[in-house]
Structure 1
Amino acid sequence: MGLFGSDEAQGSYTATQLDESYTQTVDETPGVLLGIRPYKDNQGIVDGAAMLQSLHDVRTKGLRDKNISQHHSFELWFDEEKLKFYMHAADESAANKFRRRVANSYSNTQVFRVEGGDAFPQIHADDYIAGAELDLNRHYYYPIRNHQGDGFERDPYGEVTSEMLSTPETRVVVQVVFRPAKNDWTEGDAGLFSRGESVDDVAEGLRSDQVVGWLNPRTRDASKKDREAADVVEMQRGQYGFHTNMRILAVSPDKYEAESRARGVAGMFTRYYNTMTEQGFTDDPVPASERGAFIEKLHAREWEDREMILSVSELAGAAHIPNKEIETPKIDWRYSQRGGEVPADSQRSE
């Protein structure tokens, strides 16, 4: 995506059936799947930002400092009539780090290794599926709405999780794959299409007067909104960033339900709109011909460069463990303050 442009979303949420079933067991999963049971008394997005900050571990290689950092995922599932939270770690070492970081940032929240059963909700051949990937409306230098700045009146997960609720047979997944970006991501060399501009260059451009008109050229002063947007963009400098992929999948024996859930959940994320920078998520429905490959990407927790980097504050809004501010029913909460034990259903059998 270009620095000043945006791509119009193409495709449709019309649900289709696949020719085969898709299942993935824990034993077939690359890396380690961790289940999470949130304890209600935590700071939600704020604690999520602290956790992500501690997970920003960039690894580079070679003379050009190629980024070879591992990627991981945070996932929300509506499955078996419950809303559940998961983290997928690239390897055992990362899984151990996640457990420590969650324990430090979210006291009394339970994190456990999923030892058996499914590593992803089952998809049957007679199910209807619909899905989408999320992109940014503008270049990633322009931040989306987050808990800093304009902030949120309430945790946006309240609307996201409410939209995920569905019939007992329906399954909905939100998958956020993230990979640490190099610390110079705001300096113009983190993306293929940034053309060398840094956040300072963009901020300067927003503050500068512009020549408008062709037949009768005239100078237009930078508006108050432009100058305020420049200040917001400039604040990206020095923040940790993560290359991010966001995927939404809805599966149901009911065609209408699959379409409604996929469209509705994607729509909730498009509300992360920053009026100051005119930045937000755009939804890109997955074409019917690509849905089998899309499921494979979900199973693999695959990361691909979609030219989307989110700062820690931005990513925390999209990937965090919620608290009691969320009133959505059917969340798999943890009610005890005692930690350490493995829940009874950590070894699931179908």
Structure 2
Amino acid sequence: MSPFERLTEVFHSSPQYEATQLDFEGGEPFVQRQADTPGTLLRIRPYKENEGVVDGAGLLQSVHDVTTNFRGKNTSDHHSFEVWFDEGKICFYMHAATDAAADKFRRRVGNNYANSEVFRVEDGHAFPIIEPDEYVAGAWLEMEKIPYYPIRHDNSEGFETDPYGEITSEMLSLDDSTVVTQVVFRPAKQSWTDGDRFKHNSVDELAYALRQGTSVGWLNPRTRPASEKDKQAAKTIEQQRGQQAFHVNIRVLAASSEQDEAEARARGVAGMFRKYYNAVTEQGLDDIPVWHRRKRKRANRLRRFVQRMSDRDWIDRRMIMTVDELAGVAHIPNAEIETPNIDWRYTQRGDRVPADVGQYNESADRSTPNQQNVATGGRDGI
């Protein structure tokens, strides 16, 4: 192998946004029906006059219900908040693990987002349909540092504008394309800041280390005194103690008949999430494309990724967010964002189901479900 070929091989071993046709069994579309999906899917039509991220924090705080077994292990259910660009429209969803959780979400969304409409998706599909000729691209979002380095804390680095403005704008695509962002969350125990001897130290130990300065140099090592930024970061990290938090997965999926469009939407939306960043702690989100240099293995990984999204799987990827942090990536927006084609609600209180729901649910009948045979594979994350 020539040096150029070796360099090319190394380059192409790095994860890429390379959309791929998945060839579902029998050449049929991928369809996930509500009747075949555990839990309950709720559709939300937000009323424009709400407090956005602030109301999102209130909602998350109200559903932070931790359950443990007799050994103290966290056995809490996981739920998801999702934004879909599907059939030319941007819609908002929550998926509840149980009927009881769905009822609670309906009440709490109503309490925190006045005049917004929440209703169960009783029939039809529980995930956007992916046609067999469409190209699919996807990515995970992960924290660049360990969880105790917050992305934001108590609005100290509040958003000048709702980040969903840029995210939803980036999701807009061809009318026959699909883009989904999914945030799966599971309440963390109050002891989440105590550390894990096999993974990382506690918040107190990390803050103490930051205040002691940084070891620099190799041949002649010395300790550089803690900077003001180090001290400020230590204080911010300490403030995580006692905060309610959630274990989190964040996924982005794009599907389109145009390969370039699927790649552009997946890359673009993931890039908008990278803007969630705390300059003090230098914590942010990094995107990890679902990829393999071999087409067949790449298709298998993307197929498994789609199945996990439609099943609302939660996988431990060692990402924890406080209520305030999670509200930034999982909230119902308001009139501050000007993205077109959002499924807003324009009237106040009432329980009328929107007129397009019948058509939306019937759209699933155009296709035959066969995704039940899709392999779920191992738990390697991608």
TM-score by length of 2: 0.86
Largest Rg, 1 or 2: 2
Distance across 2 between alignment mates of 1:338 and 1:209:
56
Choose the corresponding residue for 1:224, options 205, 228, 248. Answer: 228
Where does structure 1 lack aligned partners over 5 or more consecutive residues? Answer: 1-8
Moved over 4 A (4+): none
Q: Give the alignment of 1:208-247 within 5 angstroms.
A: 208-247=212-251
Paired residues in the alignment total 338
Distance across 2 between alignment mates of 1:139 and 1:10:
22
Where does structure 2 lack aligned partners over 5 or more consecutive residues? Answer: 1-12, 292-297, 364-382
Q: 1:10 to 1:182 in 2, by over 3 A?
A: farther
**Amino acid across the alignment from 1:32:** T
Query: Is 1:49 matched with 2:49?
Result: no
Q: Give the alignment of 1:257-276 within 5 angstroms.
A: 257-276=261-280
More helix by share: 2
TM-score by length of 1: 0.94
Instruction: Render the CA deviation track for 1:123-157: whole Å, top value 9, x for unaligned.
Output: 01100000001111000100114671111110000
Distance across 2 between alignment mates of 1:95 and 1:192:
36
Query: Is 1:89 matched with 2:96?
Result: yes
Query: Is 1:136 matched with 2:147?
Result: no
Query: Is 1:60 matched with 2:63?
Result: no
Distance across 2 between alignment mates of 1:146 and 1:321:
19
The alpha-carbon deviation at position 115 of structure 1 amounts to: 1.5
Give yes or no for contact 2:152–2:324 (8 Å, CA) kept in 1: no
Query: Is 1:79 matched with 2:86?
Result: yes
The alpha-carbon deviation at position 215 of structure 1 amounts to: 2.7
Choose the corresponding residue for 1:151, options 158, 164, 183. Answer: 158
Distance across 1 between alignment mates of 2:178 and 2:145:
31
The alpha-carbon deviation at position 28 of structure 1 amounts to: 1.4
Give yes or no for contact 2:153–2:236 (8 Å, CA) kept in 1: no
Choose the corresponding residue for 1:206, options 188, 201, 210. Answer: 210
Query: Is 1:349 matched with 2:355?
Result: no
Q: 1:232 to 1:147 in 2, by over 3 A?
A: closer
**Amino acid across the alignment from 1:349:** E
Give yes or no for contact 1:112–1:346 (8 Å, CA) kept in 2: no
Choose the corresponding residue for 1:102, options 100, 109, 130. Answer: 109
Instruction: State the SS of the aligned residue for 2:85.
Output: strand
**Amino acid across the alignment from 1:239:** Q
Q: 1:146 to 1:13 in 2, by over 3 A?
A: farther
**Amino acid across the alignment from 2:232:** E
Question: Greater shift after overlay, 304-313 or 204-213?
Answer: 204-213
Q: 1:293 to 1:57 in 2, by over 3 A?
A: same
Give yes or no for contact 1:146–1:272 (8 Å, CA) kept in 2: no
Instruction: Render the CA deviation track for 1:66-107: whole Å, top value 9, x for unaligned.
Output: 100000000000001100000000011000000011011100
Give yes or no for contact 1:146–1:317 (8 Å, CA) kept in 2: no
Distance across 2 between alignment mates of 1:12 and 1:211:
35
